[in-house]
Amino acid sequence: MARTGSITGILKALRQASWRDFRSLGSVGGQNFFLFLLLVALQPESAQFFFLILALILLFPLSADPMQKIPADRRATWPLRKWEWGAIRLGSLALSPISWAAALLIGSRTNWSAGVLLLGSAIVLQLLRLLVKSSLKRLPEANWFYWIPAPPGVIGSLMRLQWREMLRTLDPYVALLLVICTELFRLSGKPLESAALRIMSLVVALAISTQTQVLFGIDGSGAERYRQLPIRGWQILLAKDLAFLVLLGLLVLPLDLVSGLTAGVVALAIGHHRSVMNVTPQAQWRFTSGVIFPDGVIQSVLLFAAGNVVREQGLWLAALCVFAWLASLLFYGWQWDRNRFARS
Amino acid sequence: MISCKDITKNFGEFHAVSHASFLVPRGSICALLGPNGAGKSTVVKILTGLLRATSGSVEICGTRSDDPALKRIIGILPESLALFDALTVAEHLDLTGAAYKLEPAVIRERTDQLLRVLRLEHGRSTFIHQCSYGMRKKTALAMALLPNPRALFLDEPFEGIDPVTAETIRMQLRSIARRGITVLLTSHILSLVDRVADKVVMINRGRIVFDANTNELPDTLENLYFEMVERAEGEELAWLGPEASQAS
């Protein structure tokens, strides 16, 4: 009895940890891209593609092995027999959302091949993850984050930090997948409407625009360091903004650079308010989560509006957007300096 | 010099610090002692300008704690360490040097030396999220020292690090103080405090309960601490079974 008690006790703890982890994926609900998905869902045939992109990215965190939640060192100290660990391992599989989805698909018979494919993809992703983890343990320099260069000066050091932090969230990977799919479509030789590249460039900007609402949230406990260093608020914001614009620029380069960057500066001009006045901590390897109403809605509408007409309206609109961004940067940089005292 | 006059900090109804006053002369090391939650970290945050006192005044080397220029003359090892997961050990020092506008060559030279002294060379390219607690603490300490500050504020510098490094830090702090830098530290390791500090200030429930130079202590630091701050409670855990002498 005591033996099965230890198995159920551990499985119960694993269930709680897995549930907490699963709920953290709800951060997608605070995404501007999610807002976009809700809108395109009104036209189901167009929505399928975007939902598929989101599902592909979510497959990474969803396929995580629940057993990994018990640290290996801790596992080694618990006095459990092999068969008990075997039972826990089997029980833990039922805690994975991928197992539920795969079981449902396989059970439905009509979609059993999709279920097998889902399960197979999750296992392959797990194996890849373990492989990468063990290689990085042996050779830390193999981590590609290590090779992200820093431009000179303190702004450059902060830009490198911001790039790495942005790339530790899921947002840029949705954007990257959108760009890759668009380019593959172009390469296939199928006809593409003239406005399609501009629209895709705006969707890419939208996919990473929530980052502008949480510029300090992705710093984790390091955010406190900014208050200890002799750096002005506008310098920190400038570094974070430039990092965002460079990443966005690289993503939209094959699509429509001008429209994408215009949308980016608009997103930043609006996002500064939430970033500075209400720092919300973000989790790594999850979607960044901002505020949909009103910030996200305003950002999405204005970035689409400005990005969509900038080519027709010409330089004056681009200049106006840049001016608004700079004004916002200086104002919220000043706000940051004013609020330099920690809250606790 | 660190001058703290009648500072009070309230969080709503809770009095975190009440009318605390003390003085740390230039070039000396002061240890601020007290149990967890006594208000030590709050005092350090107020002194370093990271938290605004409800009342009272603070001056560090002639600069008021609400003056933004304060950041240029102090070095801080904060309680939370305040490090970025996405930077390596050496990159943290690069960032600090750049923020203090040091020349790249100076940053490189000081970084190499600090990593050597703190026995952190092997981890220079390790990302912070992969570092042990001791390595993180040493990184935060190196960041505090790199800009050559006039006053140093170290929140628990000896906790969680190996004895050799703790002794190295102790020696470095003595050397730093001889060069005229004022140091204020908090710690729970009384044996080390006894050997490093010139002055001891004890705080309990937000109030200063003891303030003296270490060469004038009427008793051992440990006895004084138990007398002034709190006594150890020795509740028996009976479910561990009888003691060996009783069992036999």
> Mean pLDDT over residues B21-45, rounded?
93
Is B84 within 8 Å of A161 when comparing Cβ atoms?
A: yes
Q: Does B125 touch chain A (CB under 8 A)?
A: yes
CB-CB contact of A218 with A135 (8 Å): no
Q: What is the pLDDT of residue B246?
A: 62
Report pLDDT digits (tens) over A219-245. 988 888 999 999 999 999 999 999 999
A176 with A325, same domain?
A: yes
The C-alpha of A159 sits at a distance from chain B's nearest C-alpha, in angstroms, of 11
Among candidate residues A146, A177, A202, the one where a domain is terminated: A146
Share of chain A above pLDDT 70, in %: 97
- Taking contacts as CB-CB distances below 8 angstroms, the residues of chain A near B87 are 161, 164, 222
In a domain, A10, yes or no: yes
Report pLDDT digits (tens) over A59-95. 888 878 888 888 888 888 888 888 888 888 888 888 8
A6/A12: higher pLDDT: A12
Domain boundaries, chain B: 2-85+136-247
Residue A2 has pLDDT above 60, yes or no: no
The C-alpha of A43 sits at a distance from chain B's nearest C-alpha, in angstroms, of 40
Number of domains in chain A: 2
| Identity of the residue in A146, A153, A341 whose CB atom sits nearest the CB atom of B52 | A341
216-275 in chain A: CB under 8 A from chain B: 219-225, 227-231
Share of chain B above pLDDT 70, in %: 99
A319 with A181, same domain?
A: yes
Among candidate residues A130, A146, A162, the one where a domain is terminated: A146
Q: What is the pLDDT of residue A305?
A: 93
Residue of A nearest to B83 (CA): A222
Residue A344 has pLDDT above 60, yes or no: no
Is A342 within 8 Å of B76 when comparing Cβ atoms?
A: no
A42 with A131, same domain?
A: yes
Measuring CA to CA, which residue among A137, A156, A143, A145 is closest to residue A240? A156
Q: Does B50 touch chain A (CB under 8 A)?
A: yes
A91 with A205, same domain?
A: no
A235 with A303, same domain?
A: yes
Q: What is the pLDDT of residue B3?
A: 93
Distances (CA, A) of A104 to A9, A23, A48, A112, A116: 27, 20, 20, 9, 11
Residue of A nearest to B91 (CA): A157
A172 with A127, same domain?
A: no
Q: Report DSSP state, residue B127.
A: B
Q: How many helices (H) and strands (E) does chain B have?
A: 9, 10
Give the number of beta-carbon pairs within 8 Å between A and B.
88
In a domain, A343, yes or no: no
Number of Cβ within 10 Å of residue A131's Cβ equals 10
Residue B146 has pLDDT above 90, yes or no: yes
CATH topology of domain B2-85+136-247: Rossmann fold (3.40.50)
A98 with A171, same domain?
A: no
Range of the domain at A59: 2-146
In a domain, A120, yes or no: yes
A42 with A126, same domain?
A: yes
Is A228 within 8 Å of B98 when comparing Cβ atoms?
A: no
Q: What is the pLDDT of residue A343?
A: 45
A226 with A258, same domain?
A: yes
Residue A1 has pLDDT above 60, yes or no: no
Is B98 within 8 Å of A153 when comparing Cβ atoms?
A: yes
Measured distance CA(B138)–CA(B227) in Å, rounded = 32
In a domain, A304, yes or no: yes
Report pLDDT digits (tens) over A24-62. 887 778 889 988 988 888 888 778 888 888 888 888 888
pTM: 0.88
Dihedral angle over CA of A13, B36, B147, B164, nearest 10: -80
A90 with A184, same domain?
A: no
Report pLDDT digits (tens) over A176-235. 999 999 999 989 888 888 789 999 999 999 999 999 999 999 898 888 899 999 999 999
Is A231 within 8 Å of B52 when comparing Cβ atoms?
A: no
- Bridge-based pairing of strands B14-24 and B63-64 is unpaired
A258 with A292, same domain?
A: yes
Q: Does A146 touch chain B (CB under 8 A)?
A: yes
A95 with A111, same domain?
A: yes
Q: Suggest the residue from A161, A215, A229 to mutate for an interface test with chain B (most B CBs closer than 10 A).
A: A229
Reading the block at residue A113, the tokens are 């091949």
ipTM: 0.84
148-167 in chain B: CB under 8 A from chain A: none
- Taking contacts as CB-CB distances below 8 angstroms, the residues of chain B near A224 are 50, 78, 80, 82
In a domain, A185, yes or no: yes
Share of chain B above pLDDT 90, in %: 64
Measured distance CA(B2)–CA(A329) in Å, rounded = 36
